[in-house]
Structure 1
Amino acid sequence: MNQDTIPDTSSISSHHDNEITSVVAFINAIKEDIDDPFSENRGTEVFYRGHADESWDLKPSIVRSDKGIKNEHLLFRDMVAHVPQDFSECKSALDYLVQMQHYGLPTRLLDVTTNPLVALYFACQPAGDTTVSGIVNAAFDAAYGIAFDAEAYAENYPDGSSISSNSDRLEAILSSVGVLAGVLTAANTKHEENPIGARMVSCIVASLIKEFPDLAAEIQAGVDAGKKAAIEAGPKDGAVYLFSVPENRVKHYDSETVSILSNLAKCDDSDIDFSTKQSSDEEEHNRLEEFNEQPSIQILLHQVEEEKPYFSPLIDPHDLGSVFLVKAKYGNPRITNQAGAFFLFGLGIDQDDPLDLEEQSLAKGGHVEIPSDWIRHKFIVPKEKKTKILEELAHLGITESYIYPGIEQYAKELKKRYNL
């Protein structure tokens, strides 16, 4: 991915009025905003999205790494080939993408909801692998690897001479020990987790530095890296975004525009390079015809015509470089309960192109962003309020088993309810 920027949210208020401390406060804040007679967001539809970490970007998962966008067409086909029965009801590229999103495969969709309480539920979740427990567990996994390496050396070279002679291997082992020590020390200092483990590993590090003074810098670098990881981990403030999307950018699942953007997922990124160069005196109709005669466009048109034989083979370049809000079919209980909809992302400007706008082209490697004026509010959920708000949501029926319908989730909920 060539673009790594995020929407400009500098105009969004970040003062304490935007902090959500309870469900009631959240509902009141939304009601006040929607009922505002001076709002400039008339002629729009409102949607919400919750982030467990307020610093996360508003990007679809497929564009969060270069490898994702480069292999999008392979992910699409491999997934369908592996479990074709799970896609037997899919009639369009959008149907496939929604199902893939359901299974956790990276796509060009970004989930939103029409239910603000669902968004608030997601905003109150822990921030995934960046939690302290996740960092500590990863450090312990590294420790097991270290122990395995040391044991292997001891078995093969009982006198220990090989360990010292293999400096690269030794450096890696000692650096890993340092990382573990740093993680546990910082986790104990900041979050009071595993104090005994922290002291034990710190003693080991001190002994290793004494035994291998030439590698003291590498060990200390590992300690510093571990401390940084643990300090940056821990509970995060969440966020709920309130979007006001213009009605002309809201599409239904059977829209031709939606078919065009969805079928981009089936195209190799090397096939997608649409020139936007046009002479200024060209008439609109001729401009569109010239644009649609490009070989890359013909490939995309073929994909769209496979699902819509009646499709008029004329693509507007403005649509390709846009974001649309899609109201998908409620084809499974999860989307129904979550009142789900999706942002569907098109193409961005290829950042390898020259600065001259007349020479630029649209490419899968470029990333188009949600327009900043669609982001009406960003409400912050303080990390210390998350547990309380989740309890309040549970009283309203917004629980894990509601968000993720299924017997497994309900079983987990029952175990929690009865302290099992």
Structure 2
Amino acid sequence: MGRYEIKKSSNGNYYYTLKAPNHETVVVGEQLTNYNDVKSAIKQSMSSSSRADKIIKRLSSSGKPYFNLVAENGAILGSSQLYSSDASLERGIESIRKYGTSDALVVDVLGGSRVAQKIGSVRTYITAIESLPQDSGAVIFFRGHGDASYKLLPSLYRNSGWIRNEHVIFQELVLRCPSDFQLSGPTFNTLVKMQHYALPTRLLDITTNPLIALYFSCVDGGSTDAEVVVFKIPKKEIRYYDSDRVSLISNIGRLPQHTRFPLGLNQNDFNSDDDVIKLVREIQREKPYFVARVNPIDISSVVCVKPVLDNPRIIKQDGAFLLFGVDGEKSKPSAVPEEYLLTSDEFRIIIRGGDKIKILEQLESLGITRSTIYPEIEHVAGYLKDRYKD
């Protein structure tokens, strides 16, 4: 995979270089005064690099061959080095056709930040993942969105009626299906089971398997660009299903819509609030030993939780969850801490909508299918039905 690097010259102008995987420079872009113009030039170069009519062969004053890469309007986007022969020129042209496409990585050498990379195959996706920094003190998680415009919000916050009636949905499911919840244990386990049956909760699914996330970004099809979000969560901040903080946030779902948690109070005054007292009582239903002293920070946090591996779907998907607290009131979810995000606005892994079907076919050859991700018999049957129909 090629690599576009954004650089700054000694005279203050910006330009890019395109490098092959062996770090050899294929093209050097024209110098431009505006940083955003360079980003635009890279996009145009990605489009022109695969078109023979946009790669113009030239001879230097010394008689050595080279080529220019031109935009749709004929403007020069970049130029190659001077080659010693026509044969080496052709190899250079082959390199730009191979490495200059939209699969290439874009790196801002100035600030170390990277911009959105368009993914069109499993191979380029794995390469992008491998380029991310590693940290022995953190666990890397992934989440695939079928639409790149989706926000990092749990399903509960995607409809105002759901968040308004969270406590009703919670109670109604348990009332209507009591045998399914008799042995659920902590409230968090109930949320996991609700999530399993597609009820809106304050959980967001994540996985330690990047291929699972890629599958979910493509499985709904359509031509809309998708995205894989990558998280780097410190090991010391990952909680288990029976953690006190997990119980605290999970039981917010049992409280009515008008629940408020006052901001800006000291801990004593905060714990004297009526709604906080009600929350403590809910927690003590599952943990009688829970000390009635709540840290306001815990209520407004987003926690990574490892669930009990008693669900074949969770096992197959290498699953975990982000559990969302609230920002003062139930209608306002807490935000995922920026330090948890390995991808960001500066570097996004975007899955091209037009390549979703191809990627799903590649994943199937690697054993990632509907039947392996959803091991329940109805999903296996559905996969087999679709797999063998004419």
TM-score, normalisation: structure 2: 0.67
* Counterpart amino acid of residue 76 in structure 1: F
Q: Which amino acid aligns with 2:270?
A: F
How far residue 12 of structure 1 moved from its aligned partner, in angstroms, is 7.3
| Aligned equivalent of 1:382 | 352
Q: Indicate yes or no: 2:375 matched with 1:405.
A: yes
Match of 1:222 in 2: none
Q: Which one has a larger percent helix, Structure 1 or Structure 2?
A: 1
Look up the equivalent residue of 1:246 and give its one-letter code.
P
The structure 1 residue matched to 2:255, chosen from 267, 270, 291, is: 267
Q: Which moved more, 1:399-408 or 1:41-50?
A: 41-50
Contact 1:111 1:342 in 2 (8 A): yes
Which residue pairs with 1:45 in the alignment? 139
Paired AA for residue 115 in structure 1: N
Hey, what does 2:329 align to over in structure 1? 363
Structure 2 unaligned regions, length at least 5: 1-111
User: What secondary structure does 1:239 align onto?
Assistant: strand
Quick one: distance in 1 between partners of 2:223 and 2:232?
Answer: 29
Q: Does 1:290 align with 2:269?
A: yes
Match of 2:363 among 387, 393, 417: 393
Equivalent in the alignment of 1:197: none
**Aligned match of 1:317:** 296
Q: Is residue 21 of structure 1 aligned with residue 8 of structure 2?
A: no
- Preserved CA contact (<8 Å) 1:263 1:303: yes
Equivalent position SS for 2:142? strand
- d(CA) in 1 for partners of 2:182 and 2:237? 29
Maintained 8 Å contact 1:72/1:266: yes
Post-superposition shift, 1:332? 1.0
Aligned with 2:171 (options 77, 81, 84):
77
The CA distance in 2 between the partners of 1:14 and 1:344, in whole Å, is: 28
Question: For each residue in 1:88-116, what CA deviation from the matched residue of structure 2 results, as whole angstroms up to 9, or x when unmatched?
Answer: 22001101100001111110001111111
TM-score calculated relative to the size of structure 1: 0.62
Which residue identity lines up with residue 276 of structure 1 in the other structure? L
For the structure 1 residues 414 and 367, does the alpha-carbon distance in structure 2 shift closer, same or farther, using more than 3 Å as the test?
closer
Counterpart position of 1:257: 245
Q: Work out the CA distance in 2 between the residues paired with 1:277 and 1:69.
A: 24
Structure 1 unaligned blocks of 5 or more = 1-10, 36-40, 128-233, 279-286, 349-361
Q: After TM superposition, which residue ranges in structure 1, 4 or more long, deviate above 4 angstroms?
A: none
Q: Aligned partners of 1:398 and 1:12: how far apart in 2?
A: 31
The separation in 1 between residues aligned to 2:122 and 2:241, in whole angstroms, is 32
Do the aligned partners of 1:12 and 1:376 also contact (CA within 8 Å) in 2? no
Matches of 1:256 and 1:264, distance apart in 2: 13
Structure 1 residue 65: Cα displacement: 2.4
Matched, 1:415 2:385: yes
Q: Give 1:293 deviation, angstroms.
A: 1.6
Deviation at 1:42, TM superposition (A): 5.8
For residues 205-259 of structure 1, the C-alpha deviation after alignment (integer angstroms, 9 at most, x for no partner) is: xxxxxxxxxxxxxxxxxxxxxxxxxxxxx51111111111233432111110000
Amino acid at match of 1:93: T
How far did residue 34 of structure 1 move? 4.0
Task: Kindly provide the amino acid, as one letter, of the partner of residue 22 in structure 1.
Answer: S
**Partner-residue secondary structure (3-state), 1:55:** coil
Counterpart position of 2:322: 343
Give the whole-Å Cα distance in 2 for the aligned partners of 1:54 and 1:104.
Answer: 21
The aligned counterpart of 1:200 is none
Distance 2:172 2:332 in 1: 24
1:137-158 CA distance string (max 9 Å, x none): xxxxxxxxxxxxxxxxxxxxxx
Aligned residue for 2:199? 105
Q: Quickly say closer, same or farther: Cα 1:255–1:12, change in 2 above 3 A.
A: farther
Query: Could you say which residue in structure 1 is the equivalent of 2:101?
Result: none
Q: Deviations over 1:35-70 (max 9, x none)?
A: 5xxxxx663221100011111111111112222111
**Structure 2 CA distance for partners of 1:264 and 1:401, relative to 1, 3 Å:** same
Shift, 1:320, TM fit: 0.6
CA deviations on 1:288-313 (whole Å, 9 max, x unpaired) are 22211211111000010111112121
Q: For the residues of structure 2 that align with 1:45 and 1:417, how far apart are their CA atoms? A: 35
Post-superposition CA distance 1:100-136 (Å, at most 9, x none): 0111111000111111110000011236xxxxxxxxx
CA contact (8 A) 1:126 1:235 kept: no
CA, structure 1 residues 125+12, in 2 after alignment: closer, same or farther (shift >3 Å)?
farther
Letter in 2 for 1:387: I
- Counterpart among 126, 131, 135 of residue 32 in structure 1: 131
Contact preservation (8 Å) 1:45, 1:245: yes
Between 1:71-80 and 1:61-70, the stretch displaced more is: 61-70
1:415 Cα deviation (Å)?
A: 2.7
d(CA) in 2 for partners of 1:323, 1:251 = 11
How far has the Cα of 1:25 moved from its partner?
2.1
8 Å Cα contact 1:126-1:236 kept in structure 2: no
SS of equivalent residue, structure 1 residue 46:
strand
* Deviation of 1:385 (Å): 1.4
* Pair 1:338–1:57, CA change in 2 (3 A): same
1:300 aligned to which of 265, 274, 279: 279
Whole-angstrom CA distance in 2 between matches of 1:121 and 1:274? 38
Residue 118 (structure 1) aligned to one of 207, 212, 226: 212
- Percent identical pairs in the alignment equals 40
Point out the structure with the larger strand share. Answer: 2
1:90 corresponds in structure 2 to: 184
Rounded to whole Å, the distance in 1 between the matches of 2:200 and 2:191 is 9
2: CA distance, partners of 1:341 / 1:416: 29
